[in-house]
Structure 1
């Protein structure tokens, strides 16, 4: 998916899902727009359910889908979790060693990448620190990725894609983010693998499009999907406080997430790109 995006000059939307309803919503959006899609779970989501549970839900829906669907471990927090995700059936994993120093990040990432290569599974890693909080990992957005370090990192680890820090943050932004978009172009020239943009929830359409134009091939969306889902449920309960059927809540939540995802896919330019 990401290599096709790299060649085609667009990005694949990667959406964090928390339950069956969000899985269905994201895949429905992809089918309606004929877009390839990546569904992601973080370590806290996996802890809430399990790797096997999320694989079961996504694989069941993916088998019926008319578009390519990937299940990705987002922000894998350890070698052990990454390997467990591969064994559970995940088709892509991320190992996040960005909280380590460069050498330890390289060592951890290479260890995961070596196992994944033997299984034919692509690995995403992170270099630099994307600000905000993702699960239990928290960082200030003050360590943007160095292009020269990125080149060395990719060469020594053998990763399939690289998440880079350019001033984005996980979660919503308190103010207007200032992105170092030129850095995307510089890193694209330095490394051959597809680049990944984290912390896209809350970014303007213009910012996302510019980053994709400069070389981002995967764009992650998480927080805004959660907000869309829960806001739709709150709205229904506000209008009809007697609602007690979870299916009613799930239905409005699904519709809200589907419409949001369709909009983000169009911004990424992956609509109509499914093979």
Structure 2
């Protein structure tokens, strides 16, 4: 069942969070929907412009529709992640998305407001929610790279004006996380004093945490043991920090890197350990199962398990 993120956020605020999973492949889609139905948990399936270009939007949407029929009790929203105006407007016009993100966070404040507002006007005509971003995250997100020195935290003093002027429906903030597998390289972690002040200024407004992957050290080690060369100091968001962030209005937590690491580990181990094999179905099936288990555990961590049937629609 497709549900607007607005419903998700009204139900979860301050109590639990909704995982927003970036998908690229069939295995990820089916692992996600299977996990959602088994856990009776609401989730957001999201795709970046790069993902849409990789397989074509109709292919991705076709897989999502098929998965919703195979797993009819799955409760989800469909979201465009990190789009510009053209990406967002195309998603809105398709009538398949109930949420889009316009990322103008690298622009000056007034330009960000102007660009975000232009998307909000068109989105709200079709009851599509808009996620905006204020502040700049470091790291890598598909083809977007931001140097650590260029990253800046969200200014709490700007959030009230930004939300009022843009009329956005949720706000992604920069509070210490980063995109990719190299999070918290400076060791600072989430800046909870910033989150608290943001919540005080825009109470009950849904906050989004990008760069929410955990980056399990065991996954890094196993990948490197099978020919990988990932940096061993890669760090993610500790589970305790994720749980704490929910108290401060974080309703949506984006997860992408963790699924990529699992993909790399499963396939590296398969081809190194069984060099005589070449059938993609074998590691593919394993990856689907691993995705499902990982996402079920994430539902548990975020407190979303069992909440789909409790939603007040």
Fold in common (TM above 0.5): yes
For 2:298 and 2:65, locate their aligned partners in 1 and report how far apart those are by CA, in whole Å: 23
Q: Give the CA deviation at 1:245.
A: 2.0
Say whether 1:113 aligns with 2:110. no
Matches of 1:2 and 1:61 in 2, distance apart?
A: 23
Give the TM-score normalised by structure 2: 0.83
Matched, 1:10 2:10: no
Q: May I ask how many residue pairs the two structures share in their alignment?
A: 273
- Alignment check: 8 A CA contact 1:95 1:109 kept: yes
Q: CA deviation at 1:222?
A: 0.5
- Give, in whole Å, the separation in 2 of the partners of 1:68 and 1:2: 14
Give the 3 Å change call, closer, same or farther, for CA 250–173 of structure 1 in structure 2. Answer: same
CA RMSD, 1 decimal:
1.5
Tell me the secondary structure at the aligned position of residue 214 of structure 1: coil
Q: How many Å separate the matches in 1 of 2:253 and 2:206?
A: 11
* 1:67 pairs with one of 49, 70, 74: 74
Task: Report deviation, 1:33.
Answer: 1.1
1:48 paired with 2:54, answer: yes
Match of 2:26 in 1: 20
Partner of 2:268: 234
Q: Work out which of the two has the higher radius of gyration on C-alpha atoms and give 1 or 2.
A: 2
The alignment status of 1:100 with 2:112, answered yes or no, reads no
Q: TM-score, normalised by structure 1?
A: 0.94
Q: After superposition, where does 1:116-265 map in structure 2 within 5 Å?
A: 116-141=123-148, 142-173=151-182, 175=185, 176-191=187-202, 192-201=204-213, 202-265=236-299
Structure 1 segments unaligned to the other structure (5+ residues): none
* 2: CA distance, partners of 1:170 / 1:71: 21
Paired with 2:10 and 2:68, the residues of 1 have a C-alpha distance of 20
Contact 1:134-1:170 at 8 Å conserved across structures: yes
Change (3 A) 1:243 1:221: same
CA distance in 2, matches of 1:23, 1:134: 19
- Distance in 2, matches of 1:66 and 1:188, equals 33
The residue correspondences of 1:19-38 to structure 2 (distance < 5 A) are 19-38=25-44
TM-aligned CA deviation for residue 136 of structure 1: 2.7
In structure 1, the partner of 2:3 is none
